[in-house]
Structure 1
Amino acid sequence: MAPIWSLREFLARKREALSAFRSRLRDQPPSPVTLRAAVTVAAGTGLRPVRVRDHTVISDSGPALGGYDLGPNAPELLLAAMASCIAHSALAIAADRELAIDDLQVEVSGQIDYRGALSVSADAPVAPTGLHYTLKYRGEVTDAEMTALQADLERLCPVLLAVLQPQPLSGQVQRLEA
């Protein structure tokens, strides 16, 4: 199915939406939006349906970890969130600058050493390492415009910054009533 709009047409619509949203934000007292994701592990399968607003994404592990490989695992979802956020931030910046971009793709890669997460080796890292993103584009934009877009992207992308500048995370364990 052919897209309804070209990416350039979408960027023009996005620019209007961003302008209107920024205007509303300026007229309101500061009020951060609460974000939530929740999982109830499926008994018997260990599937982890992640609920975010009215959306569900199935998270699972491969057979080596006792899963069924019915969805991405959590570290893969982290990379997916980063790729999506980089793409969205790039679109917002491109829309603001009226850049003539016809195609935009983002790939995020990294490595995980399961020896760390599974306590096989104290020397192995637990968190994903070697994180790298590639933003590919096609359009009538200069190298200088894309270099400036990347600089702002690395200053404004929330998920990228959450990884680069970790925020405190508190946690608790709570008993469920039968």
Structure 2
Amino acid sequence: MPTAATGSRSSANGSSASQQNAAEHDSALAPGEVLLETAENPRPGLRAYLAVKRAALLARRKALRTDPPTAPHRLRARTSAEERSGVRRIRIRHHQLLSDSPPDFAGYDLGPASPEIQLGVLSSCLTHIFLIQAADLRIPLDSLEVEVEADQDPRAGQKGFEQVPIYPHNITYTVHLTSPASKERIHELHETVERACPIYNLLTNPQHISGRVVLTGSPEQI
């Protein structure tokens, strides 16, 4: 089961940084609205970022109301196998990621394997949604880290292990965060994140995937 660990940190001079950020982004808020809850001597850094995040969130919502989208976005990722090495180069927009196998699988360990990347994607998405929802709910965070673990058995599918899943399973995540907010507010944040996180919901709900094979240089599909 997912868990959330909380703590409390403080440092001098943090309140002035938070107030300065609030003043800089007042134009994105309603009159009298406060960006974040405040605590005495808050630690600057992540709280200052949450102020910026909230301003961006409000501006984004305003833009969507002004010019609402008329169709869903089509997301794309493309992966090619490098010659000689077999390293998988993932291209997403103008970004590139490397995925590789360990030496015992004819790899060079130049990057994480695909199942590991999937866990990283979940932890990254959960982290981002925690930031978004904390900014939206005005819950101050001083530190945030999400750890994801899963089991994957190399014996899966072999004799005697036919029922063992070939995919990562028993997935768990733990959120390590520091905040002066009450346990009730952290619980509210956690529940909101699970409702809003795209990748968490992708993995917890059945999906239909369709595929095809195209022969290079031929109109034929398999």
Matched ranges for 1:77-116 at <5 A: 77-116=117-156
> Per the alignment, do residues 68 and 98 of structure 1 end up closer, same or farther by CA in structure 2, a change over 3 Å counting?
same
Deviations 1:7-47 (A, max 9, x none): 00100100010111112222314432221111010111110
> Which structure is richer in relative contact order (CA contacts within 8 A, separation 6 or more)?
2
User: Does 2:87 align with 1:47?
Assistant: yes
Shift of 1:167: 2.1
Displacement of 1:152 in angstroms is 1.0
- State how far apart, in whole Å, the 2-side matches of 1:16 and 1:166 are: 35
Match of 1:9 in 2: 48
Aligned to 1:68: 108
Match of residue 38, structure 1, among 55, 66, 78: 78
- Alpha-carbon distance between aligned partners in 1 of 2:216 and 2:206, rounded to the nearest angstrom: 30
SS in 2 for 1:31: coil
C-alpha displacement at 1:163, in angstroms? 0.3
What corresponds to 1:166 in structure 2? Answer: 206
Unmatched segments (≥5 aa) in structure 1: none
Largest Rg, 1 or 2 = 2
How many corresponding residue pairs? Answer: 172
TM-score (norm 1): 0.91
Per residue, is there more strand in 1 or in 2? Answer: 1
Counterpart pick for 1:23 among 62, 83, 102? 62
Write the deviation string for residues 46-91 of structure 1: whole angstroms up to 9, x where unpaired: 1001111111110001112111111000000000000000000000
Tell me, yes or no, if structure 1 residue 141 matches structure 2 residue 181: yes
Q: Shift of the alpha carbon at 1:142? A: 1.1
Distance apart, 1:174 and its partner CA: 1.0
Q: Secondary structure at the match of 2:203?
A: helix
Select the residue among 91, 99, 111 that pairs with 1:59.
Answer: 99
Structure 1 CA distance for aligned equivalents of residues 155 and 65 of structure 2:
48
